Amino acid sequence: LFKFDKDNISDSVIQKIQPYIENEDFTPAAIFKVSKACTSICSWVRAMHKYHFVAKAVEPKRQALN
C-alpha cells in the first residue's frame, strides 16, 4: 500500500467502494470489534476515498498557480 498511486484513483473504483463508505458498520470503531488487523485497512480505504475528493477539488487551483 506504500506504493499505491493515490493521485490516480479512478472514479469507477470510488463508485465501487461507495456502498462500503456509506455503511454504518464500515467504520474503524465498528471494525475494531471484529478484527484489529482490518481496522487499519478500513481507515486506509476511508482516507483514500476522502483524499480522492480533496485532490479533485484542489487540482484546478494547483493548475491555476502554474
**pLDDT at residue 15 in the model:** 97
In the predicted structure, residue 43 carries a pLDDT above the cut 80: yes
pLDDT, tens only, 3-16: 999 999 999 999 99
Do residues 48 and 6 touch, judged by C-beta distance below 8 A?
A: yes
In the predicted structure, residue 53 carries a pLDDT above the cut 90: yes
Residue percentage of the chain with pLDDT more than 90: 86
Model pTM score: 0.87
Query: Using CA atoms, how far apart are residues 3 and 26, in angstroms rounded to an integer?
Result: 24
Query: Using CA atoms, how far apart are residues 66 and 61, in angstroms rounded to an integer?
Result: 9
